[in-house]
Amino acid sequence: MKKITVSAPGKLMLFGEHAVVYGRSCLVTAVDSRITVEIKKIDQQEVKIDAPQVKINGYQRKLSVEACLNSHKGVRFIEAAIEIFRKRYGLVNGLKIKVENGFSSNYGLGSSSAISVCIVKALAEIFSKKLGCKQIFNLAYKAVLNVQGVGSGFDVAAACWGGTLFYTTGGKKIVPLKAERLPLVIAYSGNKADTPTLIRKVQKLRLKRLNETEKIFDKIEKIVKRAKKKLQEGKWEELGELMTKNHELLVKLGVSTPKIEKLISAAFSAGAFGAKISGAGGGDCIIVLAGKEKHHLVEQALVKAGGALVPVETGAEGVRREK
């Protein structure tokens, strides 16, 4: 039976998180750690899934039984993507799916969106549907929303297009940027954040203090636009300063933690240009921009402060067929 392998990159939010949920824009880059999905048509009328790194071994359901989106998180995104694809194109075959994570799903590097994008792309390949990036994005984003209920879709876009993108809520604008590799150091804060919970936290704040929160979002939007320019010009020092400004606004939104602040201070003491949360906050990763000559010092300082280094490069290729 025909077998297809595809892979999609993880992502790092560079600028604009949270504000992008409310109609503003953000900058996101794809990273060179990838999720790989292998799909095979099988004779049995079943969907079988193995994703050993997230402890899914031997999951199976009959094709005639509706997929359960309450099951294990790793399965939910796969099932949601299959369901969206089935609704759009019809799907009559049994499938065997194997997922390999090139990075820990704890880091918040976008494993769920990369998996959803991989499934749509792999199904398109195996059922000979020619889908472009935007079509894959639309289907995978729907799948992610069906599972999570909230989200701007920036992570789905990064998995589809790759590179570094200027992105506006819901994919209204998706502009690939010409950018060099960013001199970033990335550190995991040691605890996994739940993105939907943090989105709801900011939502509550916005309901309570609408004007103040909207002003913060507007300031973030301005930073994103300036950062877009500096990033394309490779002006790292100025980009770092904008990162720090963006971080200060995220602190005002209440999404930082003492551990994140400790890591960020450590990065500054080691001579970083700038640093911020990357993503929803509440844990996950911080990104630090520093001159190449300072990287080693920054890395040492982050480890000393209790961070775990995440060695990824920016601007990776989007979803692609491997075999």
Q: Are 33 and 314 in contact (CB under 8 A)?
A: no
Crossing angle between the packed helical segments 111-126 and 154-161, to the nearest 10 degrees = 50
- According to the binding rule CB under 6 A, does residue 199 interact with ligand PMV? yes
14-22, 49-57, 58-66, 291-299 -> range binding ligand PMV (CB under 6 A): 14-22
Options 4, 6, 21, 185; binder of ligand PMV; rule CB under 6 A: 21
Number of residues that bind ligand PMV (CB under 6 A): 15
Tell the burial category of 127 from Cβ atoms under 10 Å away from its Cβ (0-12, 13-18, 19+): middle
Give every CB contact of residue 175 below 8 A, 6+ residues apart in sequence: 165, 166, 167
Q: Is 218 a catalytic residue?
A: no
Closest distance to ligand PMV from the beta carbon of 53 (Å): 19
Options 6, 9, 15, 17; binder of ligand PMV; rule CB under 6 A: 17
Q: Answer positive or negative: Cα dihedral of 159, 164, 170, 172.
A: negative
- According to the binding rule CB under 6 A, does residue 318 interact with ligand PMV? no
Tell me, letter by letter, the H, E, C secondary structure of 226-288. Answer: HHHHHHHHCCHHHHHHHHHHHHHHHHHCCCCCHHHHHHHHHHHHCCCCEEEEECCCCCCEEEE
Closest distance to ligand PMV from the beta carbon of 183 (Å): 21
Measured between alpha carbons, how far apart are the two ends of the chain, in Å?
14
- According to the binding rule CB under 6 A, does residue 280 interact with ligand PMV? yes
Interacting positions 126-165 with ligand PMV (CB under 6 A) = 151-152, 154-155
- 262 φ/ψ angles, rounded to the nearest 5 degrees: -65, -45
- According to the binding rule CB under 6 A, does residue 283 interact with ligand PMV? no
Residue type, 197: T
**102 vs 279 by CB, closer to ligand PMV:** 279
* Catalytic residue (one of 32, 43, 155, 284): 155
Options 279, 283, 307, 315; binder of ligand PMV; rule CB under 6 A: 279
Site residues, ligand PMV (CB under 6 A): 13, 17-18, 20-21, 108, 151-152, 154-155, 195, 199, 279-280, 284
Task: Show which residues are catalytic.
Answer: 155
